[in-house]
Amino acid sequence: MAKTDGFVPLKSLKAGSKPDPRAALAEIRRIYFKTTKETIEHDLAHAIELLKSLESEEEREKALVFMDGISQMRSEWARHAKKKRRG
């Protein structure tokens, strides 16, 4: 797996313009599959901004599966990090 510096561009959120809902959903999906322990905080923040840009409830519902998955990964990785620090 290629190393990343943890940066995911926020191209879709330029100058307050609303992204295309299909593009926003595709980006949230991509974030879900590409996130790592090192990038999870930034990726989750990016996904939340994309989710907030979706105007209809139907669009948001489509994104919720991926958002829930990203959130669960973050929680799981945080738990594992705590266990390692304890000993």
The answer for residues whose C-beta is within 8 angstroms of residue 36's C-beta and 6 or more apart is 4
67: confidence class by pLDDT, cuts 50, 70, 90: very high
* DSSP code for 20: P
pLDDT digits (tens, 9 = 90+) for 9-28: 555 445 566 669 999 999 99
Q: Containing domain of residue 45, as a range?
A: 20-86
What pLDDT score does 17 carry?
66
pTM, two decimal places:
0.74
In a domain, 1, yes or no: no
**Number of folded domains that form the chain:** 1
In a domain, 6, yes or no: no
Neighbours of 39 (CB within 10 A): 17
In a domain, 68, yes or no: yes
What pLDDT score does 81 carry?
78
In a domain, 3, yes or no: no
What pLDDT score does 80 carry?
83
